[in-house]
Structure 1
Amino acid sequence: MSQYILDTDHVSLILCNHPQVIANASLHQIAVTVITVQELFNGWIGRINDPSAVHNLPSLYSKLWTTVKYLQTIEILDFTSEADNCLKNLLKENPPLRKNRLQKDVRIAAIALSLNATIVTRNQRDFSLVPRLAIANWTL
Protein backbone atom coordinates (compact mmCIF):
# COMPACT_ATOMS: atom_id res chain seq x y z
CA MET A 1 0.00 0.00 0.00
CA SER A 2 1.32 3.43 -0.89
CA GLN A 3 1.81 5.92 1.88
CA TYR A 4 0.40 9.41 1.49
CA ILE A 5 1.78 12.37 3.40
CA LEU A 6 -0.61 15.26 3.91
CA ASP A 7 0.91 18.70 3.64
CA THR A 8 -0.14 21.38 6.09
CA ASP A 9 -2.87 22.74 3.83
CA HIS A 10 -4.57 19.35 3.51
CA VAL A 11 -4.47 18.88 7.29
CA SER A 12 -6.16 22.27 7.62
CA LEU A 13 -8.81 21.14 5.14
CA ILE A 14 -9.48 18.02 7.22
CA LEU A 15 -9.76 20.16 10.36
CA CYS A 16 -12.32 22.31 8.51
CA ASN A 17 -14.29 19.15 7.56
CA HIS A 18 -13.61 19.26 3.82
CA PRO A 19 -15.71 16.25 2.69
CA GLN A 20 -13.66 15.27 -0.36
CA VAL A 21 -10.33 15.35 1.49
CA ILE A 22 -11.80 13.42 4.44
CA ALA A 23 -13.25 10.81 2.08
CA ASN A 24 -9.91 10.34 0.31
CA ALA A 25 -8.01 10.20 3.60
CA SER A 26 -10.28 7.38 4.80
CA LEU A 27 -9.27 5.28 1.78
CA HIS A 28 -5.50 5.51 2.19
CA GLN A 29 -2.65 5.05 4.62
CA ILE A 30 -1.89 8.66 5.61
CA ALA A 31 0.62 10.48 7.76
CA VAL A 32 1.93 13.97 8.37
CA THR A 33 5.47 15.13 8.98
CA VAL A 34 6.96 16.80 12.00
CA ILE A 35 7.42 19.81 9.69
CA THR A 36 3.64 20.07 9.31
CA VAL A 37 3.28 19.88 13.11
CA GLN A 38 5.75 22.77 13.34
CA GLU A 39 3.83 24.81 10.76
CA LEU A 40 0.47 24.18 12.44
CA PHE A 41 1.72 25.13 15.89
CA ASN A 42 3.61 28.17 14.60
CA GLY A 43 0.41 29.35 12.94
CA TRP A 44 -1.75 28.91 16.04
CA ILE A 45 0.82 30.43 18.40
CA GLY A 46 1.16 33.47 16.12
CA ARG A 47 -2.61 33.93 15.99
CA ILE A 48 -3.10 33.40 19.73
CA ASN A 49 -0.28 35.82 20.62
CA ASP A 50 -1.59 38.55 18.30
CA PRO A 51 -2.81 41.36 20.60
CA SER A 52 -5.75 42.01 18.30
CA ALA A 53 -7.01 38.46 18.97
CA VAL A 54 -7.64 39.03 22.67
CA HIS A 55 -11.43 38.95 22.16
CA ASN A 56 -11.28 35.74 20.14
CA LEU A 57 -9.14 33.60 22.47
CA PRO A 58 -11.77 30.95 23.31
CA SER A 59 -12.24 30.19 19.61
CA LEU A 60 -8.51 30.20 18.87
CA TYR A 61 -7.66 27.92 21.79
CA SER A 62 -10.51 25.61 20.81
CA LYS A 63 -9.11 25.34 17.29
CA LEU A 64 -5.62 24.71 18.67
CA TRP A 65 -7.06 21.96 20.88
CA THR A 66 -8.86 20.42 17.88
CA THR A 67 -5.53 20.39 16.04
CA VAL A 68 -3.79 18.68 18.98
CA LYS A 69 -6.51 16.04 19.19
CA TYR A 70 -6.28 15.36 15.44
CA LEU A 71 -2.50 14.99 15.58
CA GLN A 72 -2.95 12.34 18.29
CA THR A 73 -4.85 10.20 15.77
CA ILE A 74 -2.39 10.23 12.88
CA GLU A 75 1.13 8.97 12.28
CA ILE A 76 3.71 11.75 12.49
CA LEU A 77 6.87 11.14 10.47
CA ASP A 78 10.15 12.35 11.91
CA PHE A 79 12.90 14.20 10.07
CA THR A 80 15.38 11.31 10.01
CA SER A 81 19.01 11.20 8.95
CA GLU A 82 17.80 9.67 5.65
CA ALA A 83 15.52 12.67 5.11
CA ASP A 84 18.38 15.00 6.01
CA ASN A 85 20.66 13.34 3.45
CA CYS A 86 17.90 13.58 0.86
CA LEU A 87 17.42 17.28 1.70
CA LYS A 88 21.14 18.01 1.37
CA ASN A 89 21.24 16.28 -2.02
CA LEU A 90 18.14 18.12 -3.23
CA LEU A 91 19.58 21.49 -2.26
CA LYS A 92 22.98 20.67 -3.75
CA GLU A 93 21.59 19.42 -7.07
CA ASN A 94 18.70 21.91 -7.41
CA PRO A 95 19.69 25.50 -6.51
CA PRO A 96 16.14 26.87 -7.12
CA LEU A 97 14.99 24.82 -4.10
CA ARG A 98 17.18 26.96 -1.82
CA LYS A 99 14.64 29.80 -1.78
CA ASN A 100 13.62 30.65 1.77
CA ARG A 101 9.88 30.37 0.99
CA LEU A 102 10.43 26.74 -0.04
CA GLN A 103 12.35 25.72 3.07
CA LYS A 104 9.61 23.78 4.87
CA ASP A 105 8.09 22.33 1.68
CA VAL A 106 11.47 20.95 0.63
CA ARG A 107 11.89 19.38 4.09
CA ILE A 108 8.48 17.72 3.75
CA ALA A 109 9.47 16.56 0.25
CA ALA A 110 12.74 15.12 1.55
CA ILE A 111 10.86 13.03 4.10
CA ALA A 112 8.49 11.82 1.37
CA LEU A 113 11.35 10.93 -1.00
CA SER A 114 13.23 9.10 1.76
CA LEU A 115 10.12 6.94 2.29
CA ASN A 116 9.00 6.69 -1.34
CA ALA A 117 5.71 8.32 -0.33
CA THR A 118 3.32 10.66 -2.13
CA ILE A 119 2.71 14.25 -0.98
CA VAL A 120 -0.95 15.27 -0.90
CA THR A 121 -1.09 19.00 -1.59
CA ARG A 122 -2.77 21.78 -3.52
CA ASN A 123 0.64 23.48 -3.76
CA GLN A 124 1.61 22.08 -7.15
CA ARG A 125 3.69 25.17 -7.93
CA ASP A 126 6.27 24.57 -5.21
CA PHE A 127 6.23 20.80 -4.75
CA SER A 128 6.49 20.18 -8.51
CA LEU A 129 9.96 21.78 -8.39
CA VAL A 130 11.23 18.74 -6.47
CA PRO A 131 12.53 16.06 -8.87
CA ARG A 132 11.02 12.57 -8.58
CA LEU A 133 8.43 13.65 -6.00
CA ALA A 134 5.01 12.01 -6.35
CA ILE A 135 2.20 14.52 -5.79
CA ALA A 136 -1.58 14.16 -5.43
CA ASN A 137 -4.32 16.72 -4.84
CA TRP A 138 -7.41 15.38 -3.07
CA THR A 139 -9.46 18.52 -3.65
CA LEU A 140 -9.87 17.99 -7.41
Structure 2
Amino acid sequence: MSLLAAATEVREKAYAPYSRFKVGAALRTSAGTVYVGCNVENVAYPEGTCAEAGAIAAMVAGGETRIAEVLVIADSPEPVPPCGGCRQKIAEFAGQEVRVTLCTTDGKQKVMTVAELLPGVFTAAHMDRT
Protein backbone atom coordinates (compact mmCIF):
# COMPACT_ATOMS: atom_id res chain seq x y z
CA MET A 1 0.00 0.00 0.00
CA SER A 2 1.28 3.48 -0.82
CA LEU A 3 1.84 5.98 1.97
CA LEU A 4 -0.81 8.23 0.43
CA ALA A 5 -3.40 5.45 0.42
CA ALA A 6 -2.52 4.40 3.96
CA ALA A 7 -2.68 7.96 5.33
CA THR A 8 -5.90 8.70 3.45
CA GLU A 9 -7.55 5.57 4.85
CA VAL A 10 -6.49 6.14 8.46
CA ARG A 11 -7.48 9.82 8.27
CA GLU A 12 -11.10 8.73 8.04
CA LYS A 13 -10.72 7.01 11.43
CA ALA A 14 -9.57 10.19 13.19
CA TYR A 15 -11.45 11.19 16.31
CA ALA A 16 -12.00 14.92 15.80
CA PRO A 17 -15.45 15.81 17.16
CA TYR A 18 -14.36 19.28 18.34
CA SER A 19 -12.30 20.70 15.48
CA ARG A 20 -13.64 18.38 12.76
CA PHE A 21 -10.09 18.61 11.33
CA LYS A 22 -9.07 15.04 10.55
CA VAL A 23 -5.41 14.28 9.91
CA GLY A 24 -3.81 11.04 8.76
CA ALA A 25 -0.13 10.14 8.79
CA ALA A 26 1.77 7.20 7.38
CA LEU A 27 5.43 6.42 7.64
CA ARG A 28 7.63 3.81 6.08
CA THR A 29 10.52 2.43 8.10
CA SER A 30 13.94 1.56 6.81
CA ALA A 31 12.76 -2.09 6.91
CA GLY A 32 9.87 -1.19 4.57
CA THR A 33 7.04 -1.52 7.10
CA VAL A 34 4.24 1.07 6.95
CA TYR A 35 2.75 2.42 10.18
CA VAL A 36 -0.18 4.82 10.39
CA GLY A 37 -1.71 7.24 12.86
CA CYS A 38 -4.63 9.65 13.03
CA ASN A 39 -5.35 12.55 15.31
CA VAL A 40 -7.32 11.80 18.46
CA GLU A 41 -8.88 14.83 20.13
CA ASN A 42 -9.90 15.22 23.72
CA VAL A 43 -12.34 17.72 25.18
CA ALA A 44 -9.36 19.01 27.20
CA TYR A 45 -7.66 20.22 24.01
CA PRO A 46 -3.98 19.93 24.96
CA GLU A 47 -4.51 16.26 25.78
CA GLY A 48 -5.11 15.14 22.20
CA THR A 49 -2.69 13.16 20.07
CA CYS A 50 -1.39 14.16 16.65
CA ALA A 51 -1.50 11.76 13.71
CA GLU A 52 2.27 11.83 13.33
CA ALA A 53 2.80 10.98 17.00
CA GLY A 54 0.36 8.08 16.67
CA ALA A 55 2.23 6.64 13.67
CA ILE A 56 5.55 6.98 15.48
CA ALA A 57 4.14 5.29 18.59
CA ALA A 58 2.84 2.42 16.43
CA MET A 59 6.28 2.10 14.82
CA VAL A 60 8.06 1.92 18.17
CA ALA A 61 5.46 -0.54 19.48
CA GLY A 62 6.18 -2.62 16.36
CA GLY A 63 9.84 -2.79 17.35
CA GLU A 64 11.24 -0.34 14.81
CA THR A 65 12.94 3.03 15.27
CA ARG A 66 14.10 4.29 11.84
CA ILE A 67 11.83 6.32 9.59
CA ALA A 68 12.62 6.25 5.87
CA GLU A 69 9.69 8.40 4.64
CA VAL A 70 6.67 10.28 6.06
CA LEU A 71 3.39 11.44 4.53
CA VAL A 72 0.71 13.58 6.20
CA ILE A 73 -2.73 14.38 4.75
CA ALA A 74 -5.50 16.75 5.85
CA ASP A 75 -8.54 18.44 4.31
CA SER A 76 -7.07 21.91 4.00
CA PRO A 77 -6.60 24.49 1.22
CA GLU A 78 -2.81 24.04 1.45
CA PRO A 79 -0.65 21.14 2.67
CA VAL A 80 -0.51 21.12 6.48
CA PRO A 81 2.88 20.73 8.15
CA PRO A 82 3.31 18.82 11.40
CA CYS A 83 3.21 20.85 14.60
CA GLY A 84 6.50 21.75 16.27
CA GLY A 85 6.36 18.83 18.69
CA CYS A 86 5.76 16.34 15.89
CA ARG A 87 8.60 17.83 13.85
CA GLN A 88 10.92 17.06 16.76
CA LYS A 89 9.42 13.57 17.13
CA ILE A 90 10.00 12.87 13.43
CA ALA A 91 13.58 14.16 13.68
CA GLU A 92 14.23 11.77 16.59
CA PHE A 93 13.69 8.78 14.30
CA ALA A 94 14.55 10.10 10.82
CA GLY A 95 17.72 11.34 9.18
CA GLN A 96 17.88 14.93 8.01
CA GLU A 97 17.58 13.78 4.37
CA VAL A 98 14.33 11.85 4.90
CA ARG A 99 11.45 12.97 2.67
CA VAL A 100 8.29 14.37 4.27
CA THR A 101 5.32 14.74 1.92
CA LEU A 102 2.48 17.02 3.00
CA CYS A 103 -0.83 16.51 1.16
CA THR A 104 -4.33 17.90 0.91
CA THR A 105 -7.36 15.74 0.23
CA ASP A 106 -7.79 17.50 -3.13
CA GLY A 107 -4.36 16.50 -4.42
CA LYS A 108 -1.96 19.32 -3.54
CA GLN A 109 1.44 18.16 -2.31
CA LYS A 110 4.52 19.74 -0.83
CA VAL A 111 7.67 17.65 -0.43
CA MET A 112 10.34 18.61 2.10
CA THR A 113 13.20 16.98 3.94
CA VAL A 114 13.34 16.64 7.70
CA ALA A 115 16.13 19.25 7.66
CA GLU A 116 13.83 21.71 5.88
CA LEU A 117 10.93 20.86 8.18
CA LEU A 118 12.96 21.48 11.34
CA PRO A 119 16.06 23.60 10.85
CA GLY A 120 18.21 23.82 13.95
CA VAL A 121 16.95 20.47 15.27
CA PHE A 122 17.74 19.63 18.89
CA THR A 123 19.64 16.33 19.00
CA ALA A 124 21.28 14.05 21.56
CA ALA A 125 24.60 15.68 20.57
CA HIS A 126 23.42 18.83 22.34
CA MET A 127 23.43 16.88 25.58
CA ASP A 128 26.94 15.45 25.10
CA ARG A 129 29.31 17.05 27.62
CA THR A 130 32.49 15.21 26.56
**TM-score by shorter chain over 0.5:** no
Question: Which structure exhibits the higher relative contact order, with contacts defined as CA atoms closer than 8 Å and separated by 6 or more residues?
Answer: 1
Relative to its length, the structure with more strand (as a share) is 2
Higher Cα Rg, which structure: 1
Relative to its length, the structure with more helix (as a share) is 1
Short-chain TM bin: under 0.3
Give TM-score, length-normalised by structure 1.
Answer: 0.26
